Each structure stands twice: as C-alpha cells, then as structure tokens.
C-alpha cells in the first residue's frame, strides 16, 4: 500500500465466538454483561456455507448479541456452533492471534466474583496499573464457562 492509498472505509461489525453449547454461552453473556439478542437466530448449511467457510458439510447455528454500552446499532458478539468442531488448544492469554474480549465495569472484583459464580474461571489476580497519561486501570483476566478469556477493567483518572 502506498502512502497515497487511503484506508478502506470500514465500521467494526462483530466478533465471532465458536461455542460448544452456543445457547448456554450466549445466556452467560446475557446474564453477566447484559448483552441483548439480535434476532433472528442463525441456522445455516448448504453449498454456500461450505464454500464460504471452506468446510465440507458445514452447518452452524447461533445468535448475535448486542454488546452493552454501544447503542442499538453497535457491534455484536456472534456466538455460533458448528456441528463439527475442531480441537482446541489450552487457553493462554499470550497466544498469538485474538486474545480476549474486554468489558469495562464499575467494580472489577465484584464483576470477577459474578463471572466465577456463573461458571467462569480466574486466570490471574485483580491488579491496578498506572498508564502513561497518569490514569489508573484496575483489571483482571477471567474466562467464560467455555474457557474464552475475558478482561474486566475499570478506569480512574488518577
């Protein structure tokens, strides 16, 4: 790309999460974070899905969940399940690729407790760091019930 080539005109749309049990995982994100379903539920199969996904015999089902705090036209978390799932490596926060989804909350410790009560798992401790601007961020990593990493964070100006 040359210096004169402008970036694509783009708008963030969604992040996809492949679940073993898409209904249960979508329920977790609705109960804990207030994500709201965006109908209709998805149920796709056939030649076009196979060609688009590169998976012979592909069949997926799931739902889009509107992310909290982004308005009625904001991005979604797309929670899908493919009938045939590939194996999954052990969860690690430092694995190359997409690492986690983050939610800003009022109280990180209370949010962590709620995630754990709903079937999530603690990854690290709650810590507070000062960033270059002088603001402080309190944060921790947890997982959802299917071991996907979530960052919980709360910011304070000083």
Contact 47, 28 (CB under 8 A): no
Q: Give pLDDT, residue 37.
A: 98
Q: Give pLDDT, residue 157.
A: 84
Contact 104, 69 (CB under 8 A): yes
Tell me the two tokens of residue 129.
């760091």
Contact 77, 144 (CB under 8 A): no
Q: Give pLDDT, residue 158.
A: 75
Q: Give pLDDT, residue 3.
A: 74
Q: Give pLDDT, residue 1.
A: 58
Tell me the two tokens of residue 91.
């969860």
Phi, psi torsion values for 64, nearest 5 degrees? -95, 140
Tell me the two tokens of residue 71.
């308005």
Low-confidence ranges of the chain (pLDDT < 50): none
Q: First CA to last CA across the chain, in angstroms?
A: 40
Please name each of the domains of the chain with its CATH number: 14-82 (no CATH), 101-156 (3.10.180.10)
């Amino acid at each position: 790309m040359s210096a004169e080539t402008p970036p694509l005109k783009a708008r963030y749309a969604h992040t996809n999460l492949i679940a073993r049990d898409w209904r249960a995982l979508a329920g977790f994100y609705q109960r804990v974070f207030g994500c709201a379903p965006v109908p209709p539920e998805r149920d796709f199969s056939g030649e076009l899905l196979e060609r688009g996904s590169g998976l012979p015999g592909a069949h997926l089902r799931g739902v889009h969940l509107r992310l909290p705090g982004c308005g009625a036209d904001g991005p979604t978390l797309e929670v899908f399940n493919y009938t045939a799932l590939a194996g999954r490596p052990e969860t690690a926060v430092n694995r190359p690729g997409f690492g986690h989804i983050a939610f800003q909350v009022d109280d990180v410790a209370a949010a962590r407790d709620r995630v754990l009560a709903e079937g999530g798992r603690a990854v690290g401790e709650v810590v507070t760091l000062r960033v270059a601007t002088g603001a402080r961020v309190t944060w921790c990593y947890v997982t959802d019930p299917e071991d996907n990493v979530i960052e919980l964070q709360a910011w304070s100006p000083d």
